[in-house]
Amino acid sequence: MKTVGIIAEYNPFHNGHAYHIQKAKELTGADFCVVVMSGDFVQRGTPALMDKYLRTSCALANGADLVLELPVCYAVSSAEYFAGGAVALLDQLNVIDSLCFGSECGDIGVLKQFAKELLTETPAFKRELAHQLRLGHSYPQARNTALEISAPHLTAYMDVLSSPNNILGIEYCKAVLSRESRIEPCTIKRAGASYHDNSLESRLCSARAIRESLHQSQVTKTLQKQVPASAREIAEAAYLKSYPVFADDISLLVHYCLLSKEASGFTDYPDIDKELSDRICNQLPKYRDFDSFCELLKSKNRTYARISRSLLHVLLDIKKEDFARYQKEGQVFYARMLGFRESAAPLLSAIKEKTRIPLLSKLADAEKQLAPTALSMLEKDIYASHIYQSIIHHKFPETDSFPEICEQKNPIIKM
């Protein structure tokens, strides 16, 4: 039995994702596909467009066999920690043979070379990185310059670092190498529109383009062309009942959270140093909404995405000390099931036999299966979901008349 792993957000699920699952199975000869998916908040530092159960249903209807939730502390982190947490989860299942991801370059050899250099961090690289950061450059800019100087054999490939999926792919390879995992990374060249393209002309457009069109209420046009038929049926049934959710839907919650914690500052949260904490406090009187506040706070060395993730850490109460404890004690401590296909029974049996971490199917059993640190991580996941559900109930008052899925019901999607 061969199993391929995929790390995804499916925000939302579209034709490109269905193509990825299909090609991943073909490329690796896998019998089963395990997806590690972000829950209700995503790496851009925003709530997901659809809740995790809707996205799970879409994935299962299009070739995924098992969907597991990436703990929220990693789901809303930088590429390095997002990749590291997801790979740690897949690795500890002890049944994953390969990890397949999309990239703009499509060359796994090149991505592995960059991963090795970044993982090694030679003295020359460290010196130049520190120098570039002191000059006020953002981390991505500083990293690229340091690599050009410390790894001249990669100079011809430096444009690889300008594309987001390449960067994430490098982080996946780094995580596999650092764990000395038996998982073999492989990549599929990204097809269709680029990550930042807002056009809907291509049948394989970006998730960003779909989110933007839904923001403009172009639901019929978007779903018919860009979403597989099985996922479209799921999406159409839930539209304006439990989604779409956008970044500014958390504006009031974030504002209240910042006001309530302003007196003590925000340096307890990841990616927030004293300078940024002071800036948040100083700019709070100008707060209008989440998006504009992120724009107000961003600077030459702090990107919008880094700011939005920082504010989300405050909202979700994810602190530096929590993160440090998780990293020290094992990164990921459980695999929480969101859904599976009934035909995947052999896969589930293999995981239960071989996994090094508990496979959680019932929250009621978690306290018996998990140590205190693991329970702390799970509680963050549950808290994040409760916040997301409160957003849905506020935005869609008639949600009560729609089949509700909440943490207390402990749902697992079966197909």
315 within a domain of the structure (yes/no) = yes
Three-class secondary structure of residue 309 per DSSP: helix
Least confident span in 8-17, 106-115, 163-172, 221-230: 221-230
Residue 358 φ/ψ, nearest 5 degrees: -65, 140
Q: Where a domain ends, among 267, 296, 323?
A: 323
Distances (CA, A) of 119 to 64, 109, 114, 122, 142: 31, 15, 8, 9, 16
Among residues 323, 347, 372, the one where a domain terminates is 323
Using the 3D structure, point to which of 323, 356, 375 is the last residue of a domain: 323
**What pLDDT score was predicted for residue 220?**
64
In a domain, 168, yes or no: no
- What's the pLDDT at 376? 96
Q: Would 112 be classed as within a structural domain?
A: no
Residue 173: inside a domain: no
Q: For residue 202, what are its two tokens?
A: 């291509």
Of 70, 7, 2, nearest to 40 by C-alpha is 70
Q: Classify the phi-psi angles of 410: left when phi > 0, otherwise alpha if psi is within -120 to 50, otherwise beta.
A: left
Q: Say which CATH number the domain at 64 has.
A: 3.40.50.620
User: Do residues 76 and 45 touch, judged by C-beta distance below 8 A?
Assistant: yes
CB distance 46 to 246 below 8 Å: yes
- pLDDT confidence of residue 304: 93
Are both 149 and 75 inside the same structural domain?
A: no
How many domains is the chain built from?
3
9, 90: one domain: yes
253 and 238 in a single domain? The answer is: no
pLDDT tier for residue 343 given thresholds of 50, 70 and 90: very high
User: Do 153 and 83 share a structural domain?
Assistant: no
Number of helical (H) and strand (E) elements in the chain, helices listed first: 19, 10
pLDDT of 2 > 90? The answer is yes
Residues 359 and 390 in one domain: yes
Check whether residue 252 and residue 236 sit in a common domain: no
Looking at residue 411, its pLDDT comes to: 67
Is pLDDT above 80 for 31? Answer: yes
Please report whether residue 97 resides in a domain. Answer: yes
pLDDT band at 405 (very low <50, low <70, confident <90, very high): very low
Asked if residue 12 is part of any domain, the answer here is yes
Task: With a cut of 90, say whether residue 116 has pLDDT above it.
Answer: yes
Strand-strand pairing, 413-414 and 184-189: unpaired
Q: Which tokens in the block code for residue 175?
A: 């995580």
Query: What is residue 192's predicted lDDT score, i.e. its pLDDT?
Result: 59
Radius of gyration of the chain (CA): 21
Mean pLDDT confidence for 270-276: 95
pLDDT of residue 217: 66
Residue 153 reports pLDDT greater than 70: yes
Per residue in 380-396, pLDDT (tens digit) is 999 999 999 999 999 99
Same domain, 225 and 253: no
- Per-residue pLDDT averaged across 299-309, rounded? 91
158 and 141 together in one domain: yes
**Residue 34 shares a structural domain with residue 100:** yes
Closest CA relative to residue 308, chosen from 13, 26, 30, 41: 41
| 304-316 and 251-261 helices, crossing angle to 10° | 70
Written as six digits, the tokens of 415 are 């197909």
Note whether residue 90 is domain-resident. yes
Predicted local distance difference test score (pLDDT) of residue 121 = 87
Do both 155 and 304 map to the same domain? no
Looking at the fold, whether 38 and 152 belong to one and the same domain comes out as no
| 8 A C-beta contact, residue 93 and residue 351 | yes
- Domain identity same for 78 and 201: yes
More confident residue, 24 or 415: 24
Does 41 have pLDDT greater than 70? yes
Average pLDDT score over residue span 80-106: 97
The domain containing residue 139 runs over which residues?
122-162
Identify whether 224 is part of a domain: yes
